[in-house]
Chains A and B, each alone.
Chain A
């Protein structure tokens, strides 16, 4: 009788404080998605996945020795890197490089704003993480969810949950994180700098040749980055070629939506209490925040440095838009500029820097993937 009761109430017996804390964390993520509109497409599935996986016995992961549905999805989509790579096709089909072609000089801000990735990696090492895990934590600073998942899967499988949650949460918090950093590093006069914008037309040939050439160059520089850069550029080529409108729309909508649903809930499934409720999670969340701060600072300081040599100064706030969070960061910078001077319009330059950030982040991701294993193999 007692055995039957135990069997029937097995779910209740398995409950503990960690279960309830994880339910609360899942609920907070869902709240942020629904009420605050913070990256709802990802945070809601992740939050619900976190609840699912912490229900006693975690039958979504395994049941009676057989892998559960979320374990199957994880092995098929995350461990194989299929989901982030498919998302890259969708993102590629959504990116419009035209603002960058019109203002190519802005590409350098997309490089400077990757500083946070590397600075955070060093901080994560100081926290006691090994080089691979530290690099995966640093990549939160790419402000690019799929790149964070891609690198995290390769270098820090055990921490993929907190890394992804940090990446998407801080991307959503860009309007809160960036303005104080920008204000702290610039004077009012610098924030008032106006920038000229010349409208140049870009031919279709440029838009078609660019993704193909970028793929080849990136592949030669860092062959390991080809799944990242190549599929992003493939998506972009589908969009720009002009003869695959149906495929382009499918990539932008159906593919993006389908994979996002599966990606989010599968990432949520990595948030088991035993794996998530540990000091390392807090450290990863703290490091992730620092990554965004360093990215912003790197971009702004680089712009100030460039201004030392320029006759026509750039508004240093543009540097902060060099992160990959598109188009949020560009909008934030325009908003700060408008606050200082409602007639100052630097949105187009910010968008150019922001698009460059999308390129810069995947290049940085590819370089991290190539450099870290090489350095680990090297005995200093």
Chain B
């Protein structure tokens, strides 16, 4: 553990930064889709119409 291979750490950091960038963007993107999904569903099935 304490024999840290710094070149490996740097490589992992680079990959980690990419995971972070895509990860945060991805979570926001998916939740944006869910946001619009909720909006569309609420519009398409207002309470009176939506009772099955």
Q: Which of these, A107, A115, A202, A279, contacts B34 with CB under 8 Å?
A: A107
Cα distance A214–B37 in the bound complex, in angstroms: 9
Cα distance A128–B7 in the bound complex, in angstroms: 11
Q: List 18 A-B contacts (CB under 8 A).
A: A100-B38, A104-B35, A107-B31, A108-B28, A108-B32, A118-B19, A119-B20, A125-B16, A131-B12, A135-B19, A205-B49, A217-B30, A279-B1, A356-B31, A359-B31, A363-B27, A364-B23, A380-B15
A375 CB-CB contact with B under 8 Å: yes
Flag the segment in A22-30, A187-195, A264-272, A366-374 that touches B.
A366-374
Do B1 and A125 touch (CB < 8 A)?
no
Task: List, in ascending order, chain A residues with CB within 8 A of B47's CB.
Answer: 201-203
Nearest-neighbour CB distance to chain A for B44, whole angstroms, equals: 8
Cα distance A218–B50 in the bound complex, in angstroms: 24
Closest to A218 in B: B30
Nearest-neighbour CB distance to chain B for A377, whole angstroms, equals: 10
Do A205 and B34 touch (CB < 8 A)?
no
Task: List, in ascending order, chain A residues with CB within 8 A of B39's CB.
Answer: 104
Do B27 and A121 touch (CB < 8 A)?
no
Task: List, in ascending order, chain B residues with CB within 8 A of A209's CB.
Answer: 41, 45
Q: Which of B1, B9, B37, B38 has the most CB of A within 10 A?
A: B38
The size class of the interface chain A forms with chain B is 35 or more
A5 CB-CB contact with B under 8 Å: no
Task: List, in ascending order, chain A residues with CB within 8 A of B35's CB.
Answer: 104-105, 107-108
Cα distance A279–B3 in the bound complex, in angstroms: 13
Cα distance A101–B35 in the bound complex, in angstroms: 9
Do A111 and B12 touch (CB < 8 A)?
no
Nearest 9 CB-CB pairings of A with B: A203-B50, A205-B50, A118-B20, A205-B45, A201-B47, A128-B4, A104-B38, A375-B15, A206-B41
Task: Render A73-110 as a binary contact track against B, CB cut-off 8 A, 1 for contact.
Answer: 00000000000000000000000000011001101101
* Given known A-B contacts A214-B34, A356-B31, A125 and B24 have beta carbons under 8 A apart: no
A126 CB-CB contact with B under 8 Å: yes
Task: Render A121-145 as a binary contact track against B, CB cut-off 8 A, 1 for contact.
Answer: 1100110101100110000000000
Closest to A225 in B: B30
Interface residues of B (CB under 8 A from A): 1-2, 4, 8-9, 11-20, 22-24, 26-28, 30-35, 37-39, 41-42, 45-52
Cα distance A203–B43 in the bound complex, in angstroms: 10
Cα distance A122–B28 in the bound complex, in angstroms: 19
Closest to A208 in B: B52
> Is chain A's binding surface mostly helix, strand, loop or mixed?
helix
Do A206 and B1 touch (CB < 8 A)?
no
Do A114 and B17 touch (CB < 8 A)?
no
Closest to A110 in B: B31
Closest to B45 in A: A205
Q: Which of these, B19, B26, B51, B52, contacts A221 with CB under 8 Å?
A: B26
Do B51 and A204 touch (CB < 8 A)?
yes
Cα distance A364–B28 in the bound complex, in angstroms: 9
7 more CB-based (< 8 A) A-B contacts, given A107-B35, A380-B15: A131-B12, A134-B16, A201-B47, A203-B50, A204-B52, A209-B41, A279-B2
Cα distance A125–B14 in the bound complex, in angstroms: 10
Task: List, in ascending order, chain B residues with CB within 8 A of A278's CB.
Answer: 1
Cα distance A209–B47 in the bound complex, in angstroms: 14
Do A364 and B2 touch (CB < 8 A)?
no
Cα distance A108–B18 in the bound complex, in angstroms: 21
* Given known A-B contacts A110-B31, A218-B30, A371-B19, A202 and B37 have beta carbons under 8 A apart: no
Task: List, in ascending order, chain A residues with CB within 8 A of B27's CB.
Answer: 111, 114, 360, 363-364, 367
